[in-house]
A and B are shown apart, each in its own frame.
Chain A
Amino acid sequence: MQLSKQQIEKLRIHLEESGFKYIDVQMEILDHVATAVEERMTENQDLTFQDAVNQTQSSFGPKGFRQIEASIVKGMTRKYRKLFLAQLISFLHLKYIALVLLSCFSVYKIQQILGNQDKFLTFVILSMMMVLVGSLTSGLNSANYKNYMLCKISGSYLNYTGVFLMVIFQSITQPLKANLDGVNASFLFTSFAITLYGLYYISAVNVAKQGIFESKQLLEKFKQINHKTKTTY
């Protein structure tokens, strides 16, 4: 027996009211439960929709659908962590290592040329603002996908960029007073911190974009269903 659009929507609302607010998490649980309900109703023609739902829900045990949600979240976290680390490690490949070292050297040189901490701080702030604007205008805007766990987890690495920024600003405003064989230790530390921040940021952005891309693909699917029903995803 195939469930009607209204019954599917009822199930979806039931999941939403039970606290499963992320669309992609809802999706997997919904299909499993709907298929199980359909089978129960096929096996027992006298069974009502609500009874079939209740029986299916109780067959999941005391943890209910939460265990599916937990495994989805764990799986996504693991997947994006692997992707993030792979991105970060890729910068150690021979083709990138020269570029990374050159970036670090360039930051050091810029500090030497500007000479003044305030000027360099202004330069860093302006550069970061430009990077932020660039990121937002190149597909990093996740506002449309806030109801997707994929987007939330993949974008979580961007939350930690603040730690790097704190270290960078600290190193510029409170420079080290050491000199290593003619090399300014403070400039060197700041150069490393900024380069590391850059690598982290690029990796985090790429992972976030992947999450947005996957969320967008799902959203398209839901729009097709939405076209026929009045559900808002």
Chain B
Amino acid sequence: MAINNELFKGTLQTIILNLLSENERMYGYEITQKVKFITQGELLLKEGALYPALHKLEADGLLETSTEIVDNRVRKYYSLSKDGEKKVISKLQEAKEFISQLQLLLNLKPAS
């Protein structure tokens, strides 16, 4: 069953920050594919949601960028800045607390 993408919009920044904390640096397309791979295709991160989030995080100083020539084109890589490294911890904690509150509210049992 495909998950409604609306549900994960609010945690998109946390997802991106967490992916970058685990992968050091990534490019836009790679992030969309990583989300697809981890969720086995249940969540599809569209470009229309990804790029605004990436550019907002960059503008807020949480991400740093670098460019490299790859396969005859210039590729922009995103990585966590020092502030981003700190932020990912609080964002993950925030997400965990939100999920546990949702479980209480919706009377859900954690997946085993």
B51 touches which one: A36, A71, A76 (CB < 8 A)? A71
Please give me the residue from chain A that is nearest to B28 by CB atom: A32
For residue B66, which residue of chain A has the nearest CB? A217
Contact assessment for B47 and A31 in the assembled complex, using a CB-CB cutoff below 8 Å: no
Given known pairs A28-B28, A31-B28, A67-B48, the reply for A79 and B72 (CB within 8 Å) is no
Cβ–Cβ < 8 Å partners of B73 in chain A? 8, 27, 30-31, 34, 225
Chain A contacts of B72 at CB under 8 A?
Answer: 3-5, 8, 225, 228-229
Question: Smallest CB–CB gap between B44 and chain A, Å?
Answer: 10
Most chain A CB atoms below 10 A, which of B61, B70, B72, B75: B72
Residue-wise interface mask of B (43-78) relative to A, using a CB-CB cutoff of 8 A (1 in contact, 0 not): 000111001101110111100000111111111100
Q: What CA separation (Å) do A35 and B72 show in the bound complex?
A: 12
Q: Per-position contact with B for A58-93: 1 when CB-CB < 8 Å, else 0? A: 001101000110111011101100100000000000
Name A90-109 residues within 8 Å CB distance of B.
none
A146 at the binding interface (Cβ < 8 Å): no
Contact A35 B52 (CB under 8 A): no
A221 touches B67 (CB 8 A): yes
The minimal Cβ–Cβ distance linking A157 to chain B, given in whole angstroms, is 16
Q: Are B59 and A75 in contact (CB under 8 A)?
A: yes
Q: Does A185 contact B (CB under 8 A)?
A: no
Nearest to A231 among chain B residues (CB) is B72
Question: Is B37 in the interface zone, CB < 8 Å from A?
Answer: no
* A4 surroundings in chain B (CB, below 8 A): 72
Contact A218:B67 (CB < 8 A) given known A31-B74, A67-B47, A225-B72: yes
Q: Is A224 an interface residue (CB 8 A)?
A: yes
B76→A68 contact, CB < 8 A: no
A2 at the A/B interface (Cβ < 8 Å)? Answer: yes
CB-based contact B76/A28 at 8 Å: yes
With A36-B29, A72-B55, A82-B61 known as contacts, the answer to whether A221 contacts B47 (CB < 8 A) is no
**A residues neighboring B (CB under 8 Å):** 2-5, 8, 27-28, 30-32, 34-36, 39, 60-61, 63, 67-68, 70-72, 74-76, 78-79, 82, 217-218, 221-222, 224-225, 228-229
- B residues lining the A interface (CB < 8 Å): 27-30, 33, 46-48, 51-52, 54-56, 58-61, 67-76
